Amino acid sequence: MIAVLKHELRSAFHGLTVYLFCGALLCFVGVGAMIYNIQAAVSNFEYVLNFVSIGLVVIIPVLTMRSFAEERRQKTDQLLYALPLKTWQIVGGKYLSLLVIFLVPLAIISVYPYVFSRFGEVYLPGAYGAMFAFFLMGAALIAVGVFISSLTDNQGFAAGIAIVVFLVNYYSVSLAEQVSATALGSAIALVVIWVLVGFLVKTLTKNTLIALAVGGGLTVLTLVGYCALPDKFEGLLP
């Protein structure tokens, strides 16, 4: 796994993507710090990280899109699996390399609260606690991005799907509030979910029949259940 980690880091820092990622993240933080900490004179650095979190929706897919999609496109993934390494070691090495890359701009960002504390009242435990939470959120998004990249050999498609997934996750609470709590609303929401599951199965298995069987079967069961016991669906997906 260490060998994969070193190889991925060496390859990444010889390319342009890493520097674009770091530059974009630092740019988002700079704009957020200017808006909240300088112009609005707010001492809480947490507001800046909350502002930057929406930026991760776009820049993390750009970082993760190459992790497996490029290997599959160039057919070099077979060489990786031929190495005397287990699959989890290969995946772990790639994932850890992306975490290290993510930590590079975070190391620079970690200086901001200390610098601001020299010119005003800044609650450093809260600021650095928020930074740790920001790192965990980024690590989770990177994991999802790597998984999506492993499903296709098209980098652009991997990045686009990851952005859509991240946006749905980011606005999931707002979307949930728009879903009707009635039985019909819950049934429709379930059908949409099963259709998405069918597309996911199709992507994973490359088998249309299995995808139709899974997605279509769950959809039929949902519709039958709604017709037979509509009261059970009321408030199912609030």
The pLDDT of residue 81: 67
The pLDDT of residue 142: 93
Give alpha helix (H) positions in 110-154.
111-117, 124-149
Contacts of 104-108 with C-beta under 8 Å, sequence gap 24+, read 104/22, 105/21, 105/22, 105/25, 105/26, 105/29, 106/131, 106/134, 106/135, 106/138, 108/26
The pLDDT of residue 134: 94
The pLDDT of residue 22: 92
Q: What is the pLDDT of residues 184-193, one digit of tens each?
A: 777 888 888 8
Identify the H or E element spanning 225: helix 208-228
- Closest by alpha carbon to 54, among 171, 150, 186? 171
DSSP label of 114: H
For 40-109, the three-class secondary structure string (H helix, E strand, C coil) is: CCCCCCHHHHHHHHHHHHHHHHHHHCCCCHHHHHCCCHHHHHHCCCCHHHHHHHHHHHHHHHHHHHHHHH
Within 10 Å of residue 124's Cβ, how many Cβ atoms?
Answer: 12
- Closest by alpha carbon to 186, among 121, 220, 137, 230? 230
User: What's the residue count for the chain?
Assistant: 238
The single-letter code of the amino acid at 214 is V
Cα distances (angstroms) measured from residue 106 to each of 2, 112, 213: 22, 10, 45
Stretches in the chain below the pLDDT threshold 50: none
- Whether this prediction's pTM lies above 0.75 is answered by yes
Angle at the Cα of 59 from the Cα atoms of 113 and 135, rounded to 5 degrees = 40
